[in-house]
Amino acid sequence: MTGFIAVLRGKRLAFVHGFALAVGLALALSATVPSSAQETVPSTGTITMDGRGTVTVAPDMAVITTNVATTGKTAADALSENSAAIAKVIDAIKGAGIEAKDIQTRGFGIYPRYERITDGSNRQPNITGYEVRNGVEVNIRDIAKLGDILSLVVDSGANSVDGIRFDVSDPAEKLDEARKKAVEAARHKAEIFASAAGVELGEIVSITETGTQVPRPQMMRASAMMAASPESVPIEAGEETIGANVTIMWALK
């Protein structure tokens, strides 16, 4: 009996010792877990604002497209006459100091001309002749020459000017300036809203460019060109607007 009691006491001591060891190990492991993993970090709010920046700049070059249209009984006749006429126009443009690299053919085509049917029949109309159109696009890098060249192309045989486009030869620098202004505008609005709400702007979460604005073509009617006097055509280039739009999201502190 005494031996049996001794065995039971031995098992109880072993159980107590094992339990204490397990509890101690669990406490040790819990002490090594970072406090950040045991706590829930509250999420921060965000604020998103759009901004637009613009820069005005005077164009320093112009692009015109001028054309010659001729007609003839045959396609060969119309083409021959047109080729001679457009060659005269190109020679005049080069004589004004425009380099060959700034002159490029545009809109060449040969088109049949049909009779007008007035008897009410359904027959196919006959070809009465041909029209040939040929034009050149001219880059004028000295904008002060634009008025003189417009008069010159008309005087040399061009019978239409499809349009004038004023350009900035190197708009990249101005566009970057507009982008900076767009970011400043977005931040300015965000700071106003944040101050009114009693919070502060934190780190930027995202920046997205949502659009840019570059100079657009300005068209001139051919009839206005044909009515021009032999003197230089008066031209006002005005100013062009280069712009950028941006959307920025901030975290709130």
Question: What is the tens place of the pLDDT at every residue in 80-97?
Answer: 999 999 999 999 999 999
238: alpha, beta or left? (left if phi > 0; alpha if psi -120 to 50) = left
With the C-alpha atoms ordered 93, 98, 99, 105, is the resulting torsion angle positive or negative? negative
Q: Looking at residue 232, what is its pLDDT?
A: 63
In this prediction, residue 138 carries a pLDDT of: 95
d(CA 143, CA 240) in angstroms, rounded, equals 14
Determine if residue 81 is left, alpha or beta; phi over 0 gives left, psi from -120 to 50 gives alpha, anything else beta.
alpha
Which residue(s) pair with 113 in the sheet? 129
CA–CA separation, 249 vs 49, rounded Å?
Answer: 7
CA neighbours closer than 13 Å in the CB half-sphere of residue 241:
7
Residue segments in the chain with a per-residue pLDDT below the cut of 70 = 1-43, 215-232
What is the distance between the alpha carbons of residues 115 and 5, in angstroms, rounded to a whole number? Answer: 131
Q: Per the structure block, which two tokens stand in for 6? A: 């001794």
Closest CA to 72 of 147, 2, 127: 127
- Return the domain boundaries, the chain: 42-58+170-253, 61-167
The structure's pTM equals: 0.60
pLDDT at 89: 96
CATH of 61-167, one of 3.40.50.12240, 3.40.718.10, 3.30.70.2970, 3.40.190.150: 3.30.70.2970
Cβ-contact 58, 166 below 8 angstroms: no
CB contact at 8 A, 162 and 35: no
Q: In this structure, what are the phi and psi dihedrals at residue 124, rounded to the nearest 5 degrees?
A: -70, 135
Q: In what order do the strands lie in the sheet with 240-252?
A: 46-57, 240-252, 201-213
How much is the pLDDT for 20?
A: 46
Q: 42-58+170-253 — its CATH code? A: 3.30.110.170
Residue for token pair 């406490």: 27
Residues 171-184 pLDDT 10s: 889 999 999 999 99
Token pair for 48 = 């998103």
pLDDT at 92: 95
